[in-house]
């Protein structure tokens, strides 16, 4: 994807579309579960749109990007990822238009508004456009994203007006099927029509390499004593972001935290980033076992991917690993860490 910032003309079209969307007020008859797709005419990718505002809290539009974005939406809606999961804010892969107070805008947003000669007053009146990407803080949109958001907003208006008259529009007989607005290009003309699509929501295997240092694991098995200890292991993004340069997008490294369930004391804390995060966390876990010279009986983890991280080690060392709905000791540690670092 291109990283070029939007031109003033692109911003002008985007703000105009946002104003039309706000004036329509379709959140008065639409809910965030009224989901449908809009195809990006430039790339063919699908943005899955839901309108926010019916609850009177956040007003705007979310465009979940591709199947990955849609999976995050479904996980949140279904409760598969709970409200206590630290990674909940990082599930969103989307573009978002929200109508906020002036104080919530950055100086870059205010400069664009000034250059366009636009004026907004009052609460929930100022348009804000952001890109959400797992592991990163919300960030300014690119030129390509601005063009797609403009197109998507106009298609949302079209669908919202038809949905107001016919609520069956977004609810085909097959619950796994969604309405998608699809673009057709003929020369310089783009026309739109409805299609029904069934997106792929099953996450493809990540191809994680489960090979480990067998000799090292066998050495731990011989030298470390088995104990009745129970550990809690949280594997998630760190609670505060890192910004390496003022012009760069801040990111959150992965965090591996292990706490003793009974004493509630931290056993280890490790931060990792880059393409080899899993290998690095596994090596850190092995180093921990070598250091403490004992192997716990049980480890409770916060999610399935944490269980998979431990699997090639725990299976060889006879450690029982359980995915828990909540890890109260880890959660207390995580949010205390968040408050301190904030």
Give pLDDT tens digits for 125-177.
999 999 999 999 999 999 999 999 999 999 999 999 999 999 999 999 888 89
Residue 307: phi and psi, rounded to 5, are -65, -40
- Going by their DSSP bridges, the two strands 178-186 and 126-132 should be labelled as unpaired
For residue 93, give both structure tokens: 């892969």
- Taken in order 234, 235, 241, 245, the sign of the CA dihedral is positive
Q: Which helix (H) or strand (E) is 15 found in, with range?
A: helix 8-24
Neighbours of 183 (CB within 10 A): 16
What digits encode the pLDDT tens for the residues 174-218? 888 999 999 988 887 889 999 999 998 876 545 567 889 999 999
Domains in the chain: boundaries: 8-197, 214-341
- The mean pLDDT value for 236-251 works out to 88
Q: What is the mean pLDDT of the chain?
A: 92
In the predicted structure, residue 274 carries a pLDDT above the cut 90:
no
Beta bridge partners of 181: 38, 194
Single out the residue of 25, 48, 54, 303 nearest to residue 152, CA to CA: 48
Strand-pair category, 36-39 with 298-301: unpaired
What are the backbone angles phi and psi of residue 96, rounded to the nearest 5°?
Answer: -135, 135
Domain 214-341: assigned CATH number: 3.30.420.10
Question: How far out from the chain centre does Cα 64 lie?
Answer: 9
295, 319 contact by CB (below 8 A): yes
For 234, phi then psi, to 5°, come to -105, 125
Q: What is the pLDDT of residue 1?
A: 46
Partner residues linked to 185 by β-bridges: 190
Q: What is the pTM of this model?
A: 0.85
């Amino acid at each position: 994807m291109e990283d070029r910032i939007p031109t003033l003309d692109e911003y002008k079209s985007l703000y105009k579309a946002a104003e039309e969307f706000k004036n329509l007020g379709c959140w008065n008859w639409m809910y965030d579960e009224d989901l449908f797709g809009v195809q990006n005419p430039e790339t063919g990718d699908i943005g899955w749109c839901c309108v926010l505002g019916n609850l009177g809290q956040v007003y705007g539009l979310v465009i979940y990007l591709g199947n990955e974005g849609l999976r995050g939406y479904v996980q949140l809606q279904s409760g598969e990822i709970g409200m206590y999961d630290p990674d909940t804010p990082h599930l969103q892969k989307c573009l978002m238009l929200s109508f906020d107070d002036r104080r919530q805008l950055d100086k870059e947003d205010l400069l664009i508004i000034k250059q366009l000669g636009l004026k907004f007053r009052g609460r929930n009146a100022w348009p804000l456009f952001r890109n959400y990407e797992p592991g990163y803080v919300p960030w300014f949109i690119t030129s390509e994203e601005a063009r797609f958001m403009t197109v998507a907003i106009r298609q949302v208006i079209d669908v919202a007006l038809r949905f107001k008259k016919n609520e069956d529009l977004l609810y085909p007989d097959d619950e796994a099927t969604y309405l998608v607005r699809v673009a057709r290009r003929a020369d310089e003309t783009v026309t739109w029509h409805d299609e029904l699509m069934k997106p792929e929501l099953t996450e493809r295997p990540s191809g994680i390499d489960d090979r480990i240092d067998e000799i090292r694991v066998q050495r731990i098995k011989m030298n470390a004593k088995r104990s009745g200890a129970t550990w809690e292991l949280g594997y998630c993004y760190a609670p505060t972001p890192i910004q390496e340069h003022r012009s760069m997008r801040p990111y959150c490294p992965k965090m591996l935290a292990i706490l003793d369930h009974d004493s509630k004391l931290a056993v280890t804390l490790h931060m990792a980033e880059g393409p080899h995060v899993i290998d690095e966390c596994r090596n850190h876990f092995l180093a921990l076992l070598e250091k403490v010279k004992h192997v716990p009986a049980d480890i409770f983890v916060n999610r399935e991917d944490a269980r998979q991280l431990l699997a090639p080690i725990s299976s060889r060392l006879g450690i029982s690993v359980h995915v828990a709905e909540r890890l109260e000791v880890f959660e207390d540690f995580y949010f205390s860490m968040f408050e301190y670092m904030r």
